[in-house]
Chains A and B, each alone.
Chain A
Amino acid sequence: NAGVTQTPKFRILKIGQSMTLQCTQDMNHNYMYWYRQDPGMGLKLIYYSVGAGITDKGEVPNGYNVSRSTTEDFPLRLELAAPSQTSVYFCASSRQMNYEQYFGPGTRLTVT
C-alpha cells in the first residue's frame, strides 16, 4: 500500500510555462484534495473531488485546473505559471468527506 504518491518532488518553472502535478492514491478513496502551503503558513484548499468525474473549487482555485477521470488519479494543472504560485503542493485523500485525510509527500514548486 503506497498510500498517496505525488510526482515530481521538485520543479522549477519559468513564468508562463505550464505543468501538471500528478497525484495517485491506492486506497480506493472517493475524496481527493489539492492544497498549497506557503512558507510558514497553513494549508489552503485549491480544488477537491468527491469522486471520478466530479470536481469543485476550493479557497484558492485561480490559475489552476483539475480533472478526475479515475478514482485513483487527481492531477493538478498550472497553465501559465506565475511567481505567486511558488509553494509546496500537497495532494490528499479521504474515505469520507471532512474526515481523516492522508497526505502525499508534496511537490515543491518554484516559479522564476
Chain B
Amino acid sequence: GQQVMQIPQYQHVQEGEDFTTYCNSSTTLSNIQWYKQRPGGHPVFLIQLVKSGEVKKQKRLTFQFGEAKKNSSLHITATQTTDVGTYFCAGPLQGAQKLVFGQGTRLTINP
C-alpha cells in the first residue's frame, strides 16, 4: 500500500545547530503537509506544499517539495529550544479521502 516514510526517526542537536527531516512517498502526492507536535501536545499544522519544486519559508523553517512530488524536506536553521517536538509529514492517499502520516522525526535539543 501507499506509504509515507520519514527519516531520521530521532535527531538530537545542540542548540544553534541546523536540523533536517526528510519525507518520502511511494507514490506521487497531490500535496504534502507538515505538522509539529510538542511533547504531550497535539499535532499542529505548519504548512502545505502543492506545486512541484515548491519552496516555502517560515522564519527559520524551510520546506521543500520535490520535483517529482514524491519527497519533501523540512530544514530548521539555528535550532532553538522552542523547536523541540516531533515533526510529521502527511500526504493524501491516492484515490481515497485520507491523509497518510509519516512516523515522525523526534527532535531534542541540548541547550
Q: Which residues of A contact B (CB under 8 A)?
A: 31, 33, 35, 40-45, 48, 50, 56, 58-59, 90, 92, 97-106
Tell me how far the C-beta of A69 lies from the nearest C-beta in chain B, rounded to whole angstroms.
20
Question: How far does the alpha carbon of A92 sit from the alpha carbon of B99 in the complex, in Å?
Answer: 12
Beyond A42-B88, A43-B88, whether A100 also contacts B102 by CB under 8 A is no
Which chain B residues border A50 with CB–CB below 8 Å? 97
- B97 in contact with A48 (CB, 8 Å): yes
Are B99 and A101 in contact, CB atoms less than 8 angstroms apart?
A: yes
Evaluate whether A98 and B42 lie within 8 angstroms (CB atoms) in the complex, with A42-B103, A45-B99 already known: no
Indicate if B48 sits at the interface (CB-CB under 8 A): yes
CB <8 Å contact, B48 and A100: yes
Contact B42 A104 (CB under 8 A): yes
Residues of B within 8 A of A56 (CB): 97
- B98 within 8 A of partner (CB): yes
CA gap between A97 and B44 in the complex, in Å: 17
Name which residue of chain A comes closest to B42, CB basis: A103
Chain B residues near A98 (CB-CB < 8 A): 30-31, 92, 97-99
Question: Apart from A35-B101, A98-B98, what are 13 other A-B pairs with CB-CB below 8 Å?
Answer: A31-B97, A41-B104, A43-B43, A43-B101, A58-B98, A59-B98, A90-B42, A97-B97, A98-B30, A98-B92, A99-B33, A100-B45, A101-B35
Nearest Cβ on chain A to B54's Cβ, whole angstroms: 15
CB within 8 Å of A: which of B19-52? 30-31, 33, 35, 41-45, 48
Q: Among B41, B43, B103, which residue has the most Cβ atoms of chain A within 10 A?
A: B43
In the complex, what residues of A have CB within 8 A of residue B44's CB? Answer: 103
User: Whole-angstrom distance between the alpha carbons of A43 and B88 in the complex?
Assistant: 9
